[in-house]
Structure 1
């Protein structure tokens, strides 16, 4: 048996039951004592943790080893562990007792870098095995609650990567009607209930995973360590939320949830066929500037298409082509593929310039013609 007994204080926060205690590094190193439920960008499972930063863990380990030598190693911040089981507590002695093989592995809700640094330090200096670390252990906490608490800890106390936040919020949006969720800060709950992250991720995942998509493999999703991709998930999702889900865009209506990814796929296919000349790896279309400009223009595009109930690629292509043809001379460059080549005019755009170009293209698409083809 891998039984551990430790002095502990029982802490109740609403329905959350915590035991505040301490553990030795030797406890952390026990087989199957803890696990880290990492967010997998290719999986919709329950994972929520960011990837371990090995450099950060090594820097902590080096500090701890140096401090242990001088007997002044200092790491007061507690680790947050969680289990969906209960732990035996003796109120007479204020002691918790548990068998690791029955209770473990604990999920690390907060503190994975501290644990990694401690374990690494102990591998280099056996004296670190006796080093104690403050620990809060939450019991009877299911996986969705652990995910929520990770989000709360890492957004109310210190920042977590926005892409990971988007993924977690999207998953909570899908679960909130099916699972019981703990109380969350109002701004997080509003974000979850609004559902924009989930709907935007559905678009991004479809564009990134569909082999016929011009965006196939070009969006670097959260926790994706590969070198591929021309834009990261955070930027792409932020742009979708800002422009596709804006009040003036017909596609913001939830009625389009099922077809929105297909409509956006047609939209980007039309853009690429008009503006990419074959050297697509050298075009700014697939970078933030291209995404921002065409997402900014999209309310005008989809207002025209919704009026006709026609979202086919060729219809979109014809509308954009008409807009390019009506551009004033000072903006006509963006209708040519060379203008979008990396290192060219499109590469140096700032947000203000992107806004002016998008406005010019929107106005050009709204130009009406009479039966004789004369602009009105």
Structure 2
């Protein structure tokens, strides 16, 4: 049997967005089929979810707060939850109510408020009187899934913090999903990222490094919403470094090559060369933030040198990198040796300033190297 819920509501029109503002009891909200949280799955490329993972401790704290307030009769939770559906909801203008057949319009997608919902559910399990607690809810109707994703991004980047890795994934999915001309209204900085497409490209490069069998990075990158497991660096940091130092106008990688497949392959070859020169099996710091930051920065002058030689294959990269590192002098000459990159070694304790100094020494050494390579056949 279908469940029909009738509640008082006010209709709010914001441009093309229709919202219904209502007070709904917890018993209705936590009932089966009322809402659904579409969590982003880092292991499924076809996944369309966009929510961060639930923080159980955060939800539990809210439950404790509500239970204490209920006992003292001063429970206070005024912030509204934002739900959405791509269906219509019947509005009765005579008595200002909405009528929802949950079998037809549900479950509602949670755009904002999943921790409040889970906290209320936890509280109601411990105290049944919480079921009559009324929660302010905004329901957006006739809102396509892609628009729901956009609104989640707006709420969680302009008003509150969301994991940067989740934000990156959403921007990449929006880039793939629709043309910029069809994009719902977004803050300019988000729209520019989507239109430029660099986050989407960076995500694809990182996914390629993390999933390719012969990659030094195989399984080492912690994706958005994924458990740490055996990863050594998170997606957020790697994407940030690629956006800042690799996908830039002066880096040959983003200028010379005609398609993303070639760019991914060249960048993978670069890291294969780095591994061949610096990884003795114990050089774990090479695959942490310091290694990512240093070698993403170094990729621009390194690729420029290769561009002059007309070679971007593995032998050329390995030869050039080895020759370059052999010419590094001074305090940071140890950068050329695998032992420098072992866990607890010198590389583990570099700050941003020190990494910059190492980079400059590597660039000086690179300029000293005369690269004479036969053209690749």
Query: Which TM-score band applies after superposition, normalised by the shorter structure?
Result: over 0.9
Q: Deviations over 1:116-168 (max 9, x none)?
A: 01111111111011000000000011110000000001111111111111111
Corresponding residue of 1:221: 223
Indicate how the Cα distance of structure 1 residues 370 and 355 shifts in structure 2: closer, same or farther if over 3 A, else same.
closer
Distance 1:322 1:167 in 2: 38
Corresponding residue of 1:39: 40
Corresponding residue of 2:208: 206
What is the count of residue pairs matched by the alignment?
369
Map 1:183-262 onto structure 2 (within 5 A).
183-253=185-255, 255-262=258-265
Are 1:338 and 2:339 counterparts? yes
Map 1:97-136 onto structure 2 (within 5 A).
97-136=99-138
Indicate how the Cα distance of structure 1 residues 336 and 135 shifts in structure 2: closer, same or farther if over 3 A, else same.
same
Give the counterpart of 2:275 among 261, 272, 279: 272
Distance 2:328 2:318 in 1: 16
Map 1:134-149 onto structure 2 (within 5 A).
134-149=136-151
Q: Return the TM-score normalized by structure 2.
A: 0.94
Corresponding residue of 2:266: 263
Corresponding residue of 1:6: 7
Say if 1:297 and 1:359, in contact at 8 Å, map to a contact too: no
Say if 2:309 and 2:371, in contact at 8 Å, map to a contact too: no
How far off is 1:179 after superposition? 8.4
How far off is 1:227 after superposition? 2.4
Distance 1:370 1:4 in 2: 74
Distance 1:265 1:328 in 2: 28
Distance 1:121 1:24 in 2: 13
Q: Deviations over 1:186-222 (max 9, x none)?
A: 1110111111111111111001011111100000000
How far off is 1:306 after superposition? 2.6
Question: Which SS does the other structure have where 1:259 is aligned?
Answer: helix
Distance 1:219 1:118 in 2: 34
Q: Return the TM-score normalized by structure 1.
A: 0.95
Q: Deviations over 1:200-253 (max 9, x none)?
A: 111110010111111000000000024220001111111111110122211133
Higher deviation after alignment, 69-78 or 305-314: 305-314
Question: Which SS does the other structure have where 2:230 is aligned?
Answer: coil
How far off is 1:30 after superposition? 1.8
Question: Which SS does the other structure have where 2:332 is aligned?
Answer: helix
Are 1:289 and 2:296 counterparts? no
Distance 1:245 1:178 in 2: 20
How far off is 1:325 after superposition? 2.0
Distance 2:371 2:118 in 1: 70
Are 1:53 and 2:29 counterparts? no
Distance 2:81 2:371 in 1: 70
Unaligned stretches of 5+ in structure 2? 373-377
C-alpha RMSD of the superposition:
1.6
Are 1:361 and 2:338 counterparts? no
Corresponding residue of 1:326: 327
Question: Which SS does the other structure have where 1:21 is aligned?
Answer: strand
Corresponding residue of 2:24: 23
Say if 1:243 and 1:299, in contact at 8 Å, map to a contact too: yes
Corresponding residue of 2:78: 76
Say if 2:324 and 2:369, in contact at 8 Å, map to a contact too: no
Distance 2:51 2:135 in 1: 21
How far off is 1:273 after superposition? 0.9
Q: Deviations over 1:167-198 (max 9, x none)?
A: 11111111232883210011110111111111
Distance 1:51 1:329 in 2: 46
Corresponding residue of 1:374: none
Say if 2:38 and 2:51, in contact at 8 Å, map to a contact too: yes
Corresponding residue of 1:95: 97
Say if 2:91 and 2:97, in contact at 8 Å, map to a contact too: yes
How far off is 1:309 after superposition? 3.8
